[in-house]
Amino acid sequence: MTTVMLVEDSATMLMSLQSILTKAGYDVETAGHGQEALDKLGKGVKPNLIISDVNMPQMDGITFTREARKAPGMRFTPILMLTTESDQAKRTEAKNAGATGWLVKPVGPDQLLGVIKQVLPEI
């Protein structure tokens, strides 16, 4: 089964995204912030795709992306930033940190699943 890791501090967003992804047949792993996600990767969780918020407590999404890229087997895993942030500088920073794409909230189920299909390698 394809596993998607959601890194998001908003409980509503987590519920909304989890609901959309589960219905589409994905297995979902969640983390409330970048550090928690990083800890899960360290404990052997191997998602096929990560969707991360940018502005979060403890560790933001861009730092998380940069750190996640150093984790074993995570070099080519797609990491999508899903955020309300619209600043171009942040977008460029995310790209340089190793993010695969940038999505501005709110994102519709069809849009989200469309992007996931685009970035997920065939399994």
Chain contacts with other proteins (rule: CB under 8 A)? 10-13, 15-16, 19-20, 23, 55, 84-88, 91, 95, 99-109, 111-112, 115, 118-119
In the chain, count of helices (H) and strands (E)?
Answer: 5, 5
User: What's the closest the beta carbon of residue 110 comes to other proteins, in angstroms?
Assistant: 8
User: What's the closest the beta carbon of residue 43 comes to other proteins, in angstroms?
Assistant: 27
For other proteins, the closer CB: 1 or 12 = 12
Q: Are 107 and 114 in contact (CB under 8 A)?
A: no
Cis, peptide link before residue 106, omega less than 30° from 0: yes
d(CA 71, CA 41): 7
For other proteins, the closer CB: 10 or 63 = 10
